[in-house]
Amino acid sequence: MSRGPHILAILTAVLVALTGCAGAAPEPVRDPHPADGPLPVVDTSALRPPTPFTGLRMVDPGWSVAPQYADGVFLAPAAREDLQRFTAVDVQGEVRWVAERPADSTGFAVTADADGRALAVLTDVHRPAGVASDKVTATAYELATGDPVWGPVEVPGPHAGPGLVFARSSDDSARTSGTRTVLDPTTGRVLASESGTSGQRVLGEYHGTVLVTDDRTLTALNATGGQELWQIPLAEHGRVRTAIHPSGAAAAAEGLALLEAEHSPGLLIDLRKGSILNETARDAAVDPGTGTVVVLDEAGLHATRDGQHLWSLPVTDDTRLAALGGALVYLREGGAVRVHNVITGEVADAYTPAMAGTILVPARITADGAAVFTEGPRHLLATLVPEPGASG
């Protein structure tokens, strides 16, 4: 054997090894840990937020999707350096913790345990050597601190939602997902699954309430322990509802669930009372300050408080409910923005006419006045901290 081909083989092997190393994804730091530094402050000189948010410091956490929220802390991932970096940020704009996952581990949910403690549940995709399919796990952390609570526990597939619902890929091309399983937020144990049951389907977990359905009833279970809370007959009011699914629209406010059914395109459920509030709802939200419920349905926009009707307004087919908070409801109508007082229904002057710049419309407003704004691909956080030099 001549030395030429032998040396060439060695060089080729080295080259392949080096190429493989260069293309390998970095190993994620999975456990929550402190951030490297503070979040970048946004230059708002060319932006035009609503009047209640002018003068507040705005930060950019780099989130690539809309954050979820509970108890003063937002959470969302950002795709960085072939990883998903989850960042938990409080309403003052301080980073509570960060945690990393592989690039394809984007699933997460914010929920609450039996004591009402807010939890962050992150998924993780593993690819064991010699195994054909991925192994997916879920791990819960205290949202405020990043302290571990339970897990990792193996789940049947990626996060599907709403809440702690996970689904194995479907072999049926007509279904968007396969068997759905929901976890107990307090323990991480399986609370309900579609496997091995007679027609039971898992709809979602809504901050401690799990909804399941069969051919006859919609049933709510306590997410801790699985005790039945209430049932709604699907033939109630003489109309049989079939093929119930979680709504693809934005999640309704806490205490509400928005579902879709064959004969009820927007089934708005009061989770506490176990009653149907609306059968044509497109979206709904609750003002955390006044307790006013605003529902967008086929007939228009309606507001109620303590069960009493406050007002109704006509809307166009392309009207969307952007956010509700501070006694104001923000609507998008095509390229326009409408703002109304939630108590009176009157049009509100939410923007300072003299200001110039890109109009910002809130996507989420907290009870204490922080807000998330979507500006192009960015999800910006208006904190409770005044900008340096801001009056008031």
pLDDT tier, 238 (very low <50, low <70, confident <90, very high otherwise): low
Residue 66 domain-assigned (yes or no) = no
The pLDDT of residue 60 is 97
Q: In what order do the strands lie in the sheet with 180-183?
A: 165-167, 180-183, 190-193
What mean pLDDT is predicted for residues 255-282? Answer: 88
Burial classification of residue 104, based on how many CB atoms lie within 10 Å of its CB (0-12 exposed, 13-18 middle, 19 or more buried): middle
pLDDT tier, 200 (very low <50, low <70, confident <90, very high otherwise): confident
The pLDDT of residue 237 is 60
pLDDT reading at 235 higher than 80: no
Name the percent of the chain lying above pLDDT 90. 66
Q: Distance between alpha carbon 188 and the CA centroid of its chain, in Å?
A: 19
CA atoms in the 13 A half-sphere facing the CB of 310: 20
The pLDDT of residue 250 is 55
Residue 351 domain-assigned (yes or no) = no
pLDDT reading at 112 higher than 60: yes
Q: Give which of 61, 56, 95 is closest to 80, Cα–Cα.
A: 61
Structural domain span for residue 200: 75-233
pLDDT reading at 13 higher than 50: no
pLDDT reading at 172 higher than 60: no
Q: What is the rounded CA–CA span in Å between residue 161 and residue 181? A: 10
Output the pTM of the full model: 0.88
How many domains are there within the chain? 1
Q: Residues near 199 by Cβ (< 8 Å), separated by ≥ 6?
A: 214, 215
Residue 289 domain-assigned (yes or no) = no
What mean pLDDT is predicted for residues 329-350? Answer: 94
Residue 369 domain-assigned (yes or no) = no
pLDDT tier, 155 (very low <50, low <70, confident <90, very high otherwise): very high
Residue 58: φ, ψ to 5° = -115, 135
Residue 261 domain-assigned (yes or no) = no
Q: What is the rounded CA–CA span in Å between residue 207 and residue 70? A: 10
Residue 70 domain-assigned (yes or no) = no
Distances in Å between the alpha carbon of 343 and those of 209, 285, 302, 377?
29, 14, 11, 33
What mean pLDDT is predicted for residues 100-104? Answer: 93
Give the CA dihedral 7, 12, 15, 20, nearest 10 degrees.
-140
Is residue 75 a contact partner of residue 363, using CB atoms and an 8 Å limit?
no
pLDDT reading at 337 higher than 70: yes
Q: pLDDT (tens digit, 9 = 90+) per residue, 308-326?
A: 999 999 999 999 999 999 9
The pLDDT of residue 261 is 81
Residue 154 domain-assigned (yes or no) = yes
The pLDDT of residue 9 is 44
Residue 4: φ, ψ to 5° = -60, -60
Residue 239 domain-assigned (yes or no) = no
pLDDT reading at 260 higher than 50: yes
* Pick from 224-233, 258-267, 287-296, 368-377: least confident: 258-267
What mean pLDDT is predicted for residues 12-20? Answer: 43
Distances in Å between the alpha carbon of 348 and those of 13, 51, 231, 342?
69, 11, 40, 9
Q: What rounded mean pLDDT belongs to the chain?
A: 87
Q: Give which of 384, 381, 378 is closest to 74, Cα–Cα.
A: 381
CA atoms in the 13 A half-sphere facing the CB of 312: 8
Q: What is the rounded CA–CA span in Å between residue 327 and residue 325? A: 5
pLDDT reading at 18 higher than 50: no
